[in-house]
Amino acid sequence: MVHIPQNIQELNSYKPGKPIEEIVADLQLKEWAILWNNENNLGPSPKVIKAIEKEARNLKVYPDPASVALRKSIAKAHNCLIENVVVDNGSESLLDNIFRSFMNDGDELLTCEGTFVALYIWAKANNKKLRKLPLGRGYRFDFKKIVESITPETKAIYIANPNNPTGTIISKDELDEMLQLVSKDILVIIDEAYFSYAQQLSNDYPDSFSLGHPNVIILRTFSKAYGLAGMRVGFALGPKDLIEAMTKVKMTFAPSNIAQVAALAAFEDKEHMTRALELNKKALTEFYLALHEAELDYIPSYANFVMVDLKTEEKAKQFAYDMLQKGVFIRHLKAFGLPHCVRISTGTEEENQLFTQTIIELFTQT
């Protein structure tokens, strides 16, 4: 019998729920709002669709393994060299590459509970030690506690900024102080999947890459504000030597040629990005008003979602269930280690209106 390593045996397989179409049919919904995956429901730029249609004629050809055109555009926007950029199949692939590029047996990754669940999965899949600290006050990363908790085994630190699913950020001064305190032989991974949203929503959000630390890798994605969740494209920014190491272990022809041209078109359409960010900002304001009227506790967000604290797992599960019966799909956060909370993504104008109407109906019934 072929032996399966213990770390793989202990991994929980991803178990998708029913397809949305089946849920809609089962509940006989006449309208619905898909607000559970932090997607940009406005969708991609029309320029993306045109680029995909054009590139579809070239499917017989392998993709550019170096993603030169896309990396050049990203490098130009960040005033850096193309050698400071690596592109791959989304943030999950980049995380996997980081584990394989930099961490040896016995090395420890230090992070917090209540953050991006894929981090925990890839740490386990790569058989790496993961130590999770509690989130600090206000569901924030406690950077001082993280620095105090570093041990000789600590090889890397992971920070999500903004954090998913809490929506909180580490400020410019906090991040700068943390990076000054962390030894330069410890890798600091800053996951900025919601960078575009946070940049618009906060004047105190750091420009991490401009700080120029030699031990920092920044992760970004095209799955959120750019509306390309179905394409699986992400990129990392960092020092040349670290990026080169990640490039060595990535799949040769990732991402696909369609994904590369789609990401390039999305990245260069600033007007469409502005529309997406303004829609999100308006939605957050509407969500806050509705949640306040429903007398529910929420965490102010710097992303495209809001986390609501229901205090108990039972109430959180019931809330998610009740909303689903009304056609509003939201995320119960048990898998994130926050079973008493739910997360609601922003959507289209129509979806946001359905959410606000539904929550007020459910919590203001007399």
Q: What pLDDT is recorded for position 281?
A: 98
Structure tokens at 165: 């699913």
Give backbone dihedrals phi and psi of 187, rounded to 5 degrees, phi first.
Answer: -75, 130
CA distance 356 to 340: 21
Give backbone dihedrals phi and psi of 21, rounded to 5 degrees, phi first.
Answer: -60, -40
CA distance 115 to 191: 10
Query: Whole-model pTM?
Result: 0.95
Instruction: Tell me what percent of the chain is helix, strand and coil, each rounded to the nearest 5.
Output: 45, 15, 40
- Domain 47-269 sits in CATH at 3.40.640.10
CA distance 175 to 173: 6
Q: What pLDDT is recorded for position 317?
A: 97
Q: What pLDDT is recorded for position 366?
A: 46
Structure tokens at 50: 């045109």
Q: Which residue has the tokens 């696909």?
A: 256
The fold for domain 6-44+271-363 equals: Aspartate Aminotransferase, domain 1 (3.90.1150)
Q: What pLDDT is recorded for position 13?
A: 67
**Given the DSSP bridges, would you call strands 154-160 and 108-112 parallel, antiparallel or unpaired?**
parallel
CA distance 224 to 221: 7
Edge-to-edge strand ranges of the sheet holding 331-332 = 297-299, 305-309, 341-345, 331-332
Q: What is the pLDDT of residues 249-267, one digit of tens each?
A: 999 999 999 999 999 999 9
Edge-to-edge strand ranges of the sheet holding 187-191 = 85-88, 234-237, 216-221, 187-191, 154-160, 108-112, 129-133
Q: What is the mean pLDDT of each run of 10 residues along the chain (366 residues)?
A: 83 74 93 96 97 95 97 97 97 94 93 94 90 96 96 97 97 95 97 97 91 93 97 97 97 96 97 97 98 96 98 97 96 95 98 96 74
Polymer length in residues for the chain: 366
CA-based R_g, the chain, Å: 21
Q: What is the pLDDT of residues 30-49, one digit of tens each?
A: 999 999 999 999 999 999 99
What is the domain partition of the chain in residue ranges?
Answer: 6-44+271-363, 47-269
